[in-house]
Structure formats: C-alpha cells, structure tokens
Structure 1
C-alpha cells in the first residue's frame, strides 16, 4: 500500500474503528508492532508481527468495547518524516452493558517503506478499567 505517512495513519485509524482486521494488518509492516505503555491488567505491553496482531485484533474486535467514532482528531506531522502523532477521543459502547464509552488517545506512529512499523498507543487506562469493572458487575 502506498501513501504518505499521514495517509497511512488515517487508513489504519479507519480500519481499527471499522473493526477491519485484514486491512489493519495489511497496513502494518511484517515485523510491525503495537504497544501500550499505560494499560490495565490483562492488556499486553506489545504485540509484534502480522500473525500476532491479526490474532489480537480478532480477539478484541467485538469484545468488551466497541469504538464507533473518533472525535477531535488532530494529526501532527513531525520533523521526522516517518513519525506521525495523533490525538483523538474514541467514543463507543461497552458491549456487555450498552453503556457509553469514551477514551482519550495519543498515539505515536512510525512508518517505514509505506507501512506502519509501530504504533505506541498512550491511552488513559482508567476509562477502560472502569468499563471492564462495570462489565464484571453486570455479569455477577
């Protein structure tokens, strides 16, 4: 796939929101990885390689949280032409309870040879922890 780093980031964000696992994986470099430096228990620190990314995304695509919309999206192109920083608010639903969900995200993407090499996703883990706790209470 071709395009500027910004265009690639826009495509991968859309694929993630649409739960289009195959398009998301195709945009990743074969040795690409996703990282979550700040995460709740049970979320891996890193998922690397297309097969592992595909497996992870397929597992979480319709799990506890469904993101339906990205709001207030701001993409920052940096002095490094291969790095794009994006900030946005993810709005969706806690699937088991139907409760609304909102998450603020800042992600740093690194692009290499027309593919996403890495995405370091700095999410606030508190809304996710709260949503998962509500899911556990609903199932109790």
Structure 2
C-alpha cells in the first residue's frame, strides 16, 4: 500500500494535479522542511487545506517537470514509515534552463493517506536554473 501511494503521488505531481496531490494527505497531515525549501517556502504546513494551497502555488510555478522518481526506497522498522531518496528534473519555462533537484523524504503513511512528511531538499538543484 505504501508504494501505491508513492506511485499515485508521482502521477499527480507529474500531471500538475495539486488538488489530487493534496487529497493523498490525511486531513490533519503535516509537511515539514526542517532545513528549509525554496526561498520563501514555509518550513511547516499543517493540514490538508494548507498543503492544497501551497501545492497549487508550487504547481503554478514556471517549471515543467519531466521526471519525478524515487531513486532509493528504504523501509523502516515501523511499517507506516518509508524513507525515499528522490530526484526531480525538468525545465524552468521562463529561462529554458534544465534543473535536477534531489531530496530525502521521510513519510508516514497510514490507511492509504500520507500523515507526515519530513522533506530534506538539496537547495542547489534549482539555484543555477533560476539564475540570480
């Protein structure tokens, strides 16, 4: 079931479906980016509707995602938890510059819904593509 949720998440992200993506989360889900994300991004989103609003904003950005993949999947001792190494690549549509972004995420998935994500993105992925 965990891998089904991850596969659906990939499909929705590549399709730019912010509402479908948000619907993968429990109503009281939390996303944390302890080391920060892109400039101006919140470090914590609490609740499905906050995740939905932020996802709509991110998916409206001038990025065309071409690949979104789990490069490595680690199972935790806790059956609800997976640790994924991610790679996302695409193009910044305003500059036509390619980018590759990597991250490590720790997800807790319960009853087919994502309840908690800790996201550790490498901030260098978009820096060169976005320019100054």
TM-score range, shorter chain: 0.7 to 0.9
1:5 equivalent in structure 2: 2
TM normalised by structure 2 equals: 0.87
Between structures 1 and 2, the one with greater helix share: 1
Structure 2 alignment gaps of length 5 or more = none
1:19-43 superposed Cα distances (whole Å, 9 cap, x missing partner): 1112211110001122222324311
- Could you tell me whether the CA contact under 8 Å between 1:36 and 1:46 is conserved in 2? yes
Q: Which of these residues, 40, 52, 55, is aligned with residue 53 of structure 2?
A: 55
The alignment partner of 1:10 has SS state of helix
For 2:116 and 2:9, locate their aligned partners in 1 and report how far apart those are by CA, in whole Å.
11
Distance 2:96 2:41 in 1: 22
Superposed, 1:92-131 pairs within 5 Å as: 92-131=90-129
| Correspondent of 2:13 among 4, 11, 16 | 16
Q: 1:30 aligns with which of 27, 31, 51?
A: 27
Which of the two has higher C-alpha Rg? Answer: 1
**Superposed CA offset, 1:34-89 (max 9, x none):** 22223243111011211111111111103143322024622222211000111122
- In the TM superposition, what is the alpha-carbon distance from 1:131 to its structure 2 partner? 3.0
Once superposed, what is the RMSD of the aligned Cα atoms? 1.8
